[in-house]
Structure 1
Amino acid sequence: MTPLVLLALFALFIVVLLSKTVRIVPQARAGIVERFGKYKTSLPAGLNILVPFIDKVRYMIDLREQVVSFPPQPVITEDNLVVSIDTVIYFQVTDPVAATYEIANYIQAVEQLTMTTLRNIVGGMDLEETLTSRDAINSRLRGVLDEATGKWGIRVNRVELKGIDPPPSIKDSMEKQMRADRDKRAAILTAEGQRQSAILTAEGAKQSAILNAEGDRESQILRAQAEREAQILRAQGEGQAIQTVFQAIHDGQPDQSLLAYQYLQMMPKIAEGDANKVWVIPSEITKALEGLGSSIHEVAGIPRDATPRTRVDMGSTEPLLPASQDPELASTSKAVEDAIAEARNAANPGKSIPGEAGTADSGTADPGISDPGAPTGQ
């Protein structure tokens, strides 16, 4: 049994010896080796051989970048307002020996240094500047920390202000100020919108009035032109009708019987007037009609057995333009006026028109016409 015990003890000793001799360091780590309580060397990552029972790995330092978030710290601003500021520090150990032997707890040291530096920086700013100058605070704080922690073997990469919380009363005042500012901007925008709307409405009304006035002017011009052309066409039509009737009278060669018949047809129309109180019928209607027909022929300038020596040229039956625009129309109108004047000059000026003698006023009758109530010669 004794050899077996000895063998077991020897195996155990070998295992312990190997554990004390061989040491594996993970990647991005550094081991601090002490020999008899004094710094001996730093173990790199990988397999390392130590002197058993003499060398000892005292600390294992993490060389990766570390992130530490510190709790909110009360800071007084220049305008005597207390704000709570949360900070986040990004740092990395560059010298494991200095981080181990130059300072006891570098995490706590960085926290206290951050708090004191932050109070110093923010103490020279008012609240509004503090809230709007985070980049400046981060830059100044990082510079101070990096300079102070350099001898500790620590490099501060970034410093961030995670939160700046003013007192509740200040928050309420800031919200009211922000709300008032937004209400002001909303009122300004509303007023500008109403102004632009009024300007556009006025410009639209102006353009509408101008267009309406131009439309009215154009319509009045067109109506005046249409009325003028209508009057010209009516005048041309009346002139054409007069020429046609005048030519028909010359071509038809009217006699006394026709004129007497026309007079008889006109007598009822003469009697239709309300002002005609007395209607006189000639006693000898045959002689009266013969004399009347003779008078009409003589007054009209139409001889009993004569025909017009010269036929009047009627011209085109199309509507004519005014005389000022058509020279042929002017000459034709002049010819018609000359013919009518000659016919009137040829008439006997001593005789009256039968139409005027056929109407009696206040019981007076023409000498050739007798009262229908009086006895005739027959």
Structure 2
Amino acid sequence: MAVLIALAILLAFVVVLLAKTVQIVPQARAGIVERFGKYQQTLDAGLKIIVPFIDNVRYRIDLREQVVSFPPQPVITEDNLVVSIDTVIYFQVTDPVAATYEIANYIQAVEQLTMTSLRNIVGGMDLEETLTSRDEINTRLRGVLDEATGKWGIRVNRVELKGIDPPPSIKDSMEKQMRADRDKRAAILTAEGQRQSAILSAEGMKQSAILTAEGDRESAILRAQADRESQILKAQGEGQAIQTVFQAIHDGQPDQSLLAYQYLQMMPKIAEGDANKVWIVPSEIGRALEGLGSTMSEMSGIPKDLPGPRTRVDMGSTSPEVPSVDASKKAANDAVQAAIREAEEAANPGRARKAQSGTGDEPGGDTGAVPPPSQP
């Protein structure tokens, strides 16, 4: 039994001895070894052997980059406004021995140094500059911290201002100022938009007016040209029509009987007016027609001598058959006599019946007979 107890004690001593002798240091760590309370060596990562019960691993330092966030701290700006600023520090231990023996608590030291340096930097800026100069504050603060923590074996890689909170009253004023500034910019943009719209509208109206005026001018020119060509064609047509009619008259060789017949044809149309209530045909109608025919025969365009027209008008490929002059004269005389009798009967129906019965002859009276017009 005593042997077993001795073996157990020996085994426990061996285990403790091994535990004191063999040390395992993790990656990115450093072990500070002290011998009788004095610094002996620094253990790197891996399996290390030390003297048991003499050497002791007092500290294990993390060599990785560390991130520490500090709570908000009040800072007074140059214009005497208190703002709360919270910071974030990124640092790394480069010398484990210095970080162990040069400073008791390097994290707390970095925090206090950050606060004092931040008050010093922000104290020379006003509120607006503080809010808009974060990069400048970060750069200056990092330079101060890196210089101060170098002897502690610490390197400050980056400093960030997490937030800058002004007082509530200042926040309200800033919001009002920002709102007013945005309203001003909105009004300016609206005015610029309206101006651009008015300019574009005016330019559009100008172009429209120019195009309308050009269209009216071209339309007027085209209408004038069309009117001119229409008048020219109309005048040419009237001239050809007059020449054609004049040529037909000369080709027909009119005489006084034909003119008298045309006059008799126009007499009913003269009597068609509303004001012509009574229309009397005189008994001397034959003499009047004879005088009319003799007068019109002397007019220009109906000469007594018909040698033929000097200007011929193309009447077509075939010429119409014209009856002989004697037959035309006879037919015209017969038509004139018939028209005279019809006119006398229409003017005096009773007298016409007495003339037919043979009892209408009176001494010195007019029988209604009209001598035929003289032949040309």
Q: Please give the TM-score of this superposition, normalised by the length of structure 2.
A: 0.79
What pairs with 1:15-54 in structure 2 (closer than 5 Å)?
15-54=15-54
Task: Name the CA shift for 1:284/1:119 in 2 (closer, same or farther; >3 Å).
Answer: closer
**Corresponding residue of 1:228:** 228
Match of 2:365 in 1: 376
Q: How far is 1:138 from its partner?
A: 0.9
2:147 and 2:59 mapped to 1: Cα distance?
A: 25
Are the counterparts in 2 of residues 283 and 376 from structure 1 also a CA contact under 8 Å?
Answer: no
For structure 1, the 5+ residue unaligned runs are: 318-374
State the distance in 1 between where 2:287 and 2:31 align.
Answer: 167
Matches within 5 A, 1:278-357: 279-299=279-299, 302=302, 306-314=305-313
Distance 2:106 2:37 in 1: 21
Partner of 1:127: 127
Deviations 1:66-109 (A, max 9, x none): 11111111100000001111111111111111111111111111
Displacement after TM superposition at 1:268 (Å): 2.1
Matched, 1:270 2:280: no
Give, as a single letter, the amino acid of the residue that structure 2 aligns with 1:151. Answer: K
Identity in percent: 83
Instruction: Give the Cα–Cα distance (whole angstroms) in 1 for the partners of residues 185 and 14 of structure 2.
Output: 84
Q: How does 1:165-314 map to 2 (within 5 A)?
A: 165-272=165-272, 279-299=279-299, 302=302, 306-314=305-313
Question: Helix, strand or coil for the counterpart of 2:72?
Answer: strand
Out of 27-36 and 177-186, give the one that drifted further: 27-36
Once the two structures are TM-superposed, the CA of residue 213 in structure 1 deviates from its matched residue by 2.4
* Deviation sequence 1:305-360 (CA, Å, 0-9, x none): x543455222599xxxxxxxxxxxxxxxxxxxxxxxxxxxxxxxxxxxxxxxxxxx
Equivalent residue of 1:39, what SS?
Answer: strand
Unpaired stretches in structure 2, ≥5 consecutive residues: 317-363, 368-376
Shift in CA distance, 26/288, structure 1 to aligned 2, threshold 3 Å: closer
The residue identity in structure 2 corresponding to 1:21 is T
CA–CA separation in structure 2 for the residues paired with 1:87 and 1:299: 128
Alpha-carbon distance between aligned partners in 2 of 1:175 and 1:158, rounded to the nearest angstrom: 31
Report the CA distance between 1:150 and its aligned residue.
1.0
Q: Give the secondary structure class of the aligned counterpart of 1:125.
A: coil
Q: When the two structures are aligned, how many residues end up with a matched partner?
A: 320
How far apart are the structure 2 equivalents of 1:137 and 1:290? 133
Match of 1:80 in 2: 80
Q: Mean alpha-carbon deviation: is it higher for 222-231 or for 133-142?
A: 222-231
Q: Specify the code of the residue in structure 1 equivalent to 2:146.
A: D
Change (3 A) 1:279 1:69: same
Structure 1 residue 218 displacement after superposition = 2.4
CA distance in 2, matches of 1:284, 1:121: 140
Cα drift, residue 48 of structure 1: 1.0
Question: What secondary structure is seen at the aligned counterpart in 2 of 1:261?
Answer: helix
**CA distance change for structure 1 residues 293 and 116 in 2, over 3 Å: closer, same or farther?**
same
* Residues 87 and 161, structure 1, Cα contact 8 Å, conserved in 2: yes
CA change 1:144–1:270 in 2 (3 A) is same
Query: Cα deviations across residues 93-141 of structure 1 (Å, max 9, x unaligned)?
Result: 1111111111111111111111111111111110111111111111111
Q: Counterparts of 2:315 and 2:67 in 1: how far apart (Å)?
A: 114
Work out whether residues 250 and 308 of structure 1, in 8 Å CA contact, stay in contact via their aligned partners in 2.
no
- Further displaced range: 134-143 or 208-217: 208-217
8 Å contact from structure 1 (residues 75, 119) kept in 2: yes
- The SS at the match of 1:282 is coil
Post-superposition offset of 1:225: 2.2
Evaluate the alpha carbon distance shift between residue 300 and residue 52 of structure 1 in structure 2; reply closer, same or farther with a 3 A threshold. closer
**CA-to-aligned-CA distance 1:161-204 (integer Å, 9 cap, x gap):** 11111111111111111100000000001111111111222222
2:206 and 2:281 map into 1 onto residues whose CA distance is: 74
CA distance in 2, matches of 1:273, 1:226: 39
Q: Which AA in structure 2 matches 1:233?
A: L
CA distance change for structure 1 residues 114 and 302 in 2, over 3 Å: closer, same or farther? Answer: closer
Q: How far apart, in 1, do the equivalents of 2:84 and 2:155 lie? A: 26
Residues 291 and 107 of structure 1, relative CA distance in 2, 3 Å threshold:
closer
Task: Give the secondary structure class of the aligned counterpart of 1:257.
Answer: helix
Name the counterpart of 2:62. Answer: 62
Q: Does 1:113 align with 2:113?
A: yes
Q: Which residue does 1:9 correspond to in 2?
A: 9
Pair 1:116–1:307, CA change in 2 (3 A)? same
Runs (4+) of structure 1 exceeding 6 A deviation are 274-278
TM-score (norm 1): 0.79
> Relative to 1, partners in 2 of residues 1:35 and 1:176: Cα closer, same or farther, differing over 3 Å?
same
Residue 346 of structure 2 is matched in structure 1 by: none
Match of residue 328 from structure 2: none
Does structure 2 retain, via aligned residues, the 8 Å contact 1:282–1:288?
A: no
Look up the SS of the partner of 1:71 in the other structure: coil
Question: For the structure 1 residues 232 and 303, does the alpha-carbon distance in structure 2 shift closer, same or farther, using more than 3 Å as the test?
Answer: closer
Q: 1:247 to 1:34 in 2, by over 3 A?
A: same
